[in-house]
Homo-oligomer: A and B are copies of this chain.
Amino acid sequence: MTAVVRLLLADDEHLIRGALAALLALEDDLVIVAEAASGPEALAMARAHRPDVAVLDLQMPGADGVKVATSLRAELPDCQVLIVTSHGRPGHLKRALAAGVRGFVPKTVSAQRLAEIIRTVHAGNRYVDPELAADAIASGDSPLTAREAEVLELAADGAPVAEIAERAALSQGTVRNYLSSAATKLGAENRHAAVRLARERGWV
- In the complex the two chains form, what is the Cα distance from A158 to B187 in whole Å? 13
Any B CB within 8 A of the CB of A23: yes
User: What residues on B are CB-neighbors of A195 within 8 Å?
Assistant: 158
Interface mask (A3-29 → B, CB under 8 Å = 1, otherwise 0): 000000000111110111011000000
- In the complex the two chains form, what is the Cα distance from A166 to B14 in whole Å? 45
Q: Which of A39-47, A108-116, A139-147, A171-179 contacts B (4 or more CB under 8 A)?
A: A108-116
Docked-complex contact A109 and B22, CB < 8 angstroms? no
Size of the A side of the interface (Cβ < 8 Å), in residues, is 32
Docked-complex contact A157 and B109, CB < 8 angstroms? no
Docked-complex contact A158 and B108, CB < 8 angstroms? no
The quantity of this chain's copies bound in the complex is 2
- In the complex the two chains form, what is the Cα distance from A38 to B87 in whole Å? 15
Docked-complex contact A14 and B107, CB < 8 angstroms? yes
Min CB–CB distance A105 → chain B (angstroms)? 9
Min CB–CB distance A42 → chain B (angstroms)? 16
Can you identify 30 A-B contacts, CB atoms within 8 angstroms? A12-B108, A13-B86, A13-B107, A14-B107, A14-B108, A14-B109, A14-B110, A15-B20, A15-B108, A15-B109, A15-B110, A15-B114, A16-B19, A16-B20, A16-B107, A18-B110, A18-B111, A19-B20, A19-B111, A22-B23, A22-B111, A86-B86, A157-B193, A157-B196, A158-B188, A158-B189, A158-B191, A158-B194, A160-B190, A192-B192
16 additional contacts (CB under 8 A) given A14-B108, A22-B22: A12-B108, A13-B106, A13-B107, A14-B109, A15-B16, A16-B16, A16-B20, A19-B19, A22-B111, A157-B193, A158-B192, A158-B193, A158-B195, A158-B196, A159-B189, A160-B189
